[in-house]
């Protein structure tokens, strides 16, 4: 072999050796890596593989229900067939929605809502596409599920309000969680999850919500569930039992129909609120599914303000329903006695102006009892002048005016009982004597709510016990105990005078509500009318023949009040009725109050055994009504 060939052979051999060594190195590295992955890391990657095929899902807890005192379900849970979308499991959200729309109808508004959510939320978060599907539509989505990328049919639970508008302001409603409301509770991020937005639903949201559960499922590469491995249902929300009587509530709402009005009925001994009616109202079920723009605009434009709970959120001057407070202030201060008389000629002069009685010809000589019966303004101007604003303020607050009771209703207004200090602080001006006279007949700065006037009337009728309104009987396993109301220290003789006057209002000829009395023997009520001036007719209008009442536009008519207790012989119930721009208490307030109170007395709900506290998940049958 030649030298040149030998050199070439040696070079080839070295290259071969180098290549072989490199190959062996690579193989060694691969085998080493395989050993590391399959042996050393086998447990870790097995766990990761399990994570890829197993998914842990959060389960929304069943929301607690709400019942009336007799077990009638006021807020229920019903099946909700819906469709959700998971963006990361789709090629395109738009394409998935297009595909889904070939099987069920998806409105343009729903499409836009999903696209907005997809742009804001994380890709793996579920987005509700449509809810409350019919069974046929839901089944159609299920059958075609394998071809619908990222689309998932889901059978959830939805809130339902069987009595709709009759309880809108009391029970309230639930609606979707907005971004500002999401906190550290992960259940709030679940698709379609809803929380309380008003009424009882808002007041005890956390108790009604419960605690989330979870389930572990096996999924395929496309995220479709193959089987459920384990399930923890979580803890259902607590059920609430209210003091309300649904039957009476519905009757009251029916009686208020067509008016902008409110009615409150209370047990004068316990404070149990049996009726809390505000009209007009709205259907809370509209908010659960998402209210349409058309319905929302109609609510906003309605002059009767259907979204306002007038029983606790409407503050108005009480008018002549306040005269019992003025009388007691004068009596308790010792500046008047039950036997004092004041002569009413129809007007009086005080503070460089003339003060008129509603009866231009005057009432003549008035005792305190008859002054209440006839609602004589001159008598109560004189009583207020003698008592002074300080005594009137103290007496009003003793009877529950000017305070929020915080008894379970959100957005409760405290009203206003004016005083010298209040005026200095809020108006920067000293109190004027004429303002005391205005306050004495329930006008001026004075503001009250229907629930406050019902409480005031209850305290008058129960002998001066400081009862407060109560709307919860129980929550979950906890029963709210009844607390004895403390005596307010008001003279029984003085109370007797004003109660006798209220009896005269309704049951004696000449009383301002004699035409709206209850005729049934033993069911008589005793009440007090109230009319609140909204607009003062000008001299020019008067000369032109304009008079108060129907001749004025609705928004300029006087407000109407009526408060009462019954039965007269053995008081047990108090009522207050307010009719916005109802013209007069005798015309609008008294007839409504009479009819509602008559229903209450015929049923006499406090004499019927109410249900015991309801355990969560327990089925409760409605109580027998008196018609049956």
C-alpha triplet 328, 332, 336: angle, nearest 5°: 80
Instruction: For strands 174-176 and 151-160, give the pairing.
Output: unpaired
Nearest to residue 251, comparing CAs of 170, 166, 312?
166
Nearest to residue 447, comparing CAs of 477, 416, 487?
416
Whether a cis peptide bond, with omega within 30° of 0, leads into 280 is yes
C-beta atoms surrounding 29 within 10 Å: 10
Distance of alpha carbon 164 from alpha carbon 460, whole angstroms: 34
Cross-strand pairs, 211: 235
Taken as a whole, the chain contains a residue count of: 628
Distance of alpha carbon 55 from alpha carbon 71, whole angstroms: 40
293-327 core/surface letters (b: 16 or more CB in 10 A; e: else): eeeeeeeeeeebbbbbbbbbbbbbbbbbbbbbbbb
Residue entry with tokens 């971004």: 179
Distance of alpha carbon 365 from alpha carbon 357, whole angstroms: 13
- Within a 13 Å sphere around the CA of 51, how many CA atoms are in the beta-carbon half? 6
Contact 471, 276 (CB under 8 A): yes
Say which residues have a Cβ less than 8 Å from residue 577's Cβ, sequence separation at least 6: 261, 262, 263, 450, 561, 562, 563, 589, 590, 592, 593, 596
Structure tokens at 367: 């005792």
- Secondary structure of the chain: what % helix, strand, coil (to 5)? 40, 20, 40
Contact 325, 212 (CB under 8 A): no
Distance of alpha carbon 311 from alpha carbon 170, whole angstroms: 10
Q: Radius of gyration of the chain from Cα atoms?
A: 36
Which of the following is catalytic: 96, 126, 158, 320? 320
Distance of alpha carbon 59 from alpha carbon 54, whole angstroms: 16
Distance of alpha carbon 131 from alpha carbon 194, whole angstroms: 13
Structure tokens at 254: 């029916």
- Is 320 a known active-site residue? yes
Distance of alpha carbon 501 from alpha carbon 513, whole angstroms: 12
CA distances to 353, 531, 532, 546 from 538, rounded to whole Å, are: 17, 19, 17, 9
Catalytic positions are: 320
């Amino acid at each position: 072999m030649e030298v040149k060939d030998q050199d070439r052979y040696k070079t080839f051999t070295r290259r071969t050796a180098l290549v072989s060594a490199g190959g062996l190195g690579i193989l060694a590295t691969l085998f080493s890596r395989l050993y590391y992955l399959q042996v050393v890391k086998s447990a870790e990657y097995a766990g990761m593989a399990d994570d890829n095929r197993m998914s842990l899902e959060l389960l929304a807890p069943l929301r607690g229900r709400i019942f009336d005192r007799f077990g009638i379900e006021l807020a229920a849970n019903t099946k909700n067939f819906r469709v959700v979308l998971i963006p990361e499991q789709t090629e395109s959200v738009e394409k998935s929605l297009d595909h889904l729309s070939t099987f069920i109808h998806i409105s343009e508004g729903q499409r836009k809502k999903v696209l907005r959510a997809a742009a804001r939320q994380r890709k793996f978060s579920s987005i509700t596409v449509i809810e409350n599907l019919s069974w046929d539509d839901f089944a159609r989505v299920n059958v075609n599920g394998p071809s619908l990328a990222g689309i998932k049919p889901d059978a959830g639970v939805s809130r339902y309000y069987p009595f709709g508008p009759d309880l809108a302001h009391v029970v309230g409603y639930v609606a979707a969680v907005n971004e500002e409301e999401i906190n550290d509770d992960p259940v709030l991020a679940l698709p379609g999850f809803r929380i309380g937005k008003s009424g009882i639903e808002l007041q005890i949201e956390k108790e009604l919500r419960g605690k989330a559960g979870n389930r572990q499922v096996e999924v395929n590469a496309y995220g479709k569930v193959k089987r459920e491995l384990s399930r923890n249902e979580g803890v259902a929300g607590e059920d609430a039992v209210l003091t309300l009587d649904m039957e009476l509530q519905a009757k009251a709402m029916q009686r208020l129909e067509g008016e902008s009005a409110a009615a409150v009925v209370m047990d004068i001994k316990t404070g149990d609120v049996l009726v809390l009616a505000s009209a007009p109202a709205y259907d809370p079920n509209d908010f659960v599914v998402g209210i349409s723009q058309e319905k929302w605009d109609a609510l906003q434009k309605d002059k009767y303000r259907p979204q306002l709970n007038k029983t606790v959120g409407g503050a108005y001057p009480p008018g002549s329903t306040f005269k019992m407070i003025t009388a007691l202030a004068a009596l308790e201060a010792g500046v008047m006695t039950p036997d004092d008389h004041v002569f009413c000629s129809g007007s009086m002069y005080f503070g460089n102006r003339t003060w008129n009685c509603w009866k231009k010809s005057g009432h003549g000589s008035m005792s305190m009892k008859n002054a209440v019966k006839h609602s004589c303004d001159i008598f109560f101007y004189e009583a207020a002048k003698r008592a002074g604003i300080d005594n009137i303020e103290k007496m009003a607050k003793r009877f529950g005016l000017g305070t929020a009771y915080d008894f379970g209703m959100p957005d409760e207004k405290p009203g206003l009982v004016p005083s010298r200090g209040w005026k200095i602080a809020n108006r920067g001006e000293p109190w004027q004597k004429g303002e005391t006279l205005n306050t004495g007949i329930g006008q001026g700065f004075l503001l009250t709510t229907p629930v406050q006037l019902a409480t005031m009337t209850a305290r008058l009728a129960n002998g001066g016990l400081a009862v407060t309104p109560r709307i919860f009987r129980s929550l979950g396993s906890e029963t709210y105990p009844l607390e004895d109301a403390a005596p307010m220290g008001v003279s029984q003789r003085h109370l007797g005078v004003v109660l006798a006057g209220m009896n005269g209002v309704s049951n004696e000829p000449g009383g301002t509500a004699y035409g709206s009395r209850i005729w049934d023997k033993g069911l008589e009520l005793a009440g007090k009318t109230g009319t609140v001036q909204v607009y003062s007719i000008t001299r020019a209008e008067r000369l032109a023949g304009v008079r108060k009442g129907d001749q004025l536009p609705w928004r300029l008519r006087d407000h109407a009040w009526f408060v009462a207790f019954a039965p007269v012989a053995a008081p047990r119930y108090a009522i207050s009725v307010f009719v916005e721009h109802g013209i007069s208490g005798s015309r609008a307030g008294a007839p409504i109050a009479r009819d509602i109170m008559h229903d209450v007395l015929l049923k006499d709900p406090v004499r019927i055994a109410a249900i015991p506290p309801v355990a969560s998940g327990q089925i409760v049958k409605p109580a027998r009504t008196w018609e049956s």
